[in-house]
Structure formats: C-alpha cells, structure tokens
C-alpha cells in the first residue's frame, strides 16, 4: 500500500530509477486522485510524469504519448481506456485567483490529476492528495523524492 512507503526518501538519481518509481506508483491509482509535485527546476518532476502516464498507456495497450511540460498552455490531457490524466504546470501562475478557472479540484473518479509547481495553491479544498517532494542532494549530484499522503 502507498502508505507503507510514505515519508520514506526514494533515490531517483538515475533516469532508470525515476522510471521504476513512476511505473510502480501507477498501480496505486485508479482515478479520483490528485498528485502534487514539488521541487526545483530540472529535478525530475516532468520525467516522472512522462513515465507515469506512459506506463498507464502501456498497461491499456495504447501508443505512448510524448509527454512534455505544459508550462505555456498550463494543461495537457491524456486519455486512456478508462481514465483522463490531467497534467498541470502552474509555474507561470502568479496569483491564487487564476487557479479557479483551471478546474484542478474537479471531483471525478475517472481522472488522475498531476500538478507541477503547486506552491501557489492556497487551499486544496480538502482534496485527498499525494504530495511528491522532489529534491536535489549531495551538491546536485543526486536526486530523491519523498511521498506525503494527505487526508
């Protein structure tokens, strides 16, 4: 269960370890979840999202998508057999009021919502969520992620 690994620090220094972590996490999500990804630029958030989405597509026997950061359009959507995966990037959002128009907190059991740069969000509306805290370590030589399960 996901709570068994929460608050543990997972090494994702290599791209292979990031891929393995993302692919493992897909088995815990079936829809209705919100995953907030925190961390500095270049620490692996979008790489994680790419492997996460691609694993779900592979499981559904779909072609894999090119997953890029939605920095300029704020949202990319990916449809699988049973789910819609919404990938937000809030890096360019300057105030919390802009978030209301994005429908991030939509309650839909057929949607997985992934949000990069969620620091701007003041109120998560009591949303059950997973926080993934990506960080650099050892003078930028290593990367890790910590899982926080909320609600």
Q: Report CA dihedral (149, 129, 145, 69) to the nearest 10 degrees.
A: 180
Looking at residue 151, its pLDDT comes to 60
- Angle (nearest 5°) at CA 12 between 10 and 15: 155
**Phi, psi angles (nearest 5°) of residue 12:** -130, 35
Looking at residue 19, its pLDDT comes to 97
What is the C-alpha to C-alpha distance for residues 33 and 16, in angstroms, rounded to an integer?
25
Looking at residue 95, its pLDDT comes to 83
Q: Residue-wise pLDDT tens for the chain (151 aa)?
A: 455 556 678 999 999 999 999 999 999 999 999 999 999 999 999 999 999 999 999 999 999 999 998 888 899 999 999 999 999 999 999 888 888 888 898 889 999 999 999 998 877 777 778 999 999 999 889 999 999 887 6
pTM of this structure: 0.91
């Amino acid at each position: 269960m996901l709570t068994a690994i929460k608050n543990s620090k997972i090494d994702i220094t290599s791209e292979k370890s990031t891929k393995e972590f993302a692919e493992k996490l897909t088995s815990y999500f079936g829809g209705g979840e919100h995953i907030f990804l925190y961390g500095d630029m270049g620490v692996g958030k979008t790489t994680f999202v790419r492997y996460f989405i691609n694993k779900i597509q592979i499981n559904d026997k779909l072609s894999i998508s090119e997953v890029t950061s939605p920095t300029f359009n704020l949202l990319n959507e990916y449809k699988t057999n049973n789910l819609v995966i919404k990938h937000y990037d809030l890096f360019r959002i300057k105030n919390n009021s802009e978030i209301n128009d994005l429908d991030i907190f939509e309650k839909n059991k057929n949607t997985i919502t992934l949000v990069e740069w969620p620091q701007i969000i003041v109120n998560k509306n009591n949303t059950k969520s997973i926080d993934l805290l990506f960080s650099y370590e050892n003078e930028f030589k290593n990367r890790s992620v910590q899982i926080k399960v909320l609600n």
